[in-house]
Amino acid sequence: MSKYILVFGLVVLAVFAAACSSGSGGAAVGKTIKSGPAGNNLTATISNADGVLKKGSQEFTLAFTDVSGKPVDIGAAALTFHMPAMGSMAVMNNAATFTTTDTPGVYRGKADIEMAGEWQAQITYEGPSGRGKFSLPVTAQ
């Protein structure tokens, strides 16, 4: 029973989380791309095989862990890669889709990132651990 979680995330508010890469990342798959506070005493970690996001279509992992590094089921998550408007370039919002994995709290994401550069991964979740809304700065190459 593959349970699809949320698909489209439209997040306007960007709470810019400090980019502390302290990720003990017990639940991270592959290499950490970015890790940071997710509220509710949780840490969120984005990872993939290379530890780097790229322009284009790709998969990655989003994991939520508690202070001990143990994965925590956060319910439904949504992520939008957001880039503000720059000059003549319009704002960009590339939503990711998520599926659950065998490990509650670890989600497999798919996204099509339309250009290289600095993005904000705007993430929301709602479930047994409460609600959260935060943002992690990431670079796509």
Going by C-beta distance under 8 Å and a sequence separation of 6 or more, which residues neighbour residue 114?
55, 92, 94
Residues forming contacts to Cu ion in the complex (CB under 5 A) are: 83, 92, 115
Minimum distance, C-beta of residue 106 to Cu ion, in the bound complex (Å): 29
Minimum distance, C-beta of residue 57 to Cu ion, in the bound complex (Å): 17
Count of H-run helices and E-run strands, the chain? 0, 9
Minimum distance, C-beta of residue 141 to Cu ion, in the bound complex (Å): 14
Pick between residue 7 and residue 115 the one whose CB is nearest to Cu ion: 115
Going by C-beta distance under 8 Å and a sequence separation of 6 or more, which residues neighbour residue 102?
none
Pick between residue 119 and residue 125 the one whose CB is nearest to Cu ion: 119
Cα–Cα distance list, 21 to 41, 48, 110, 129, 137 (Å): 16, 15, 22, 23, 11
Pick between residue 49 and residue 90 the one whose CB is nearest to Cu ion: 90
Pick between residue 5 and residue 52 the one whose CB is nearest to Cu ion: 52
Minimum distance, C-beta of residue 119 to Cu ion, in the bound complex (Å): 8
Cα separation of 15 and 31, whole Å?
24
Minimum distance, C-beta of residue 82 to Cu ion, in the bound complex (Å): 10
Residue 17 burial (CB count, 10 A): 20
Pick between residue 78 and residue 113 the one whose CB is nearest to Cu ion: 113
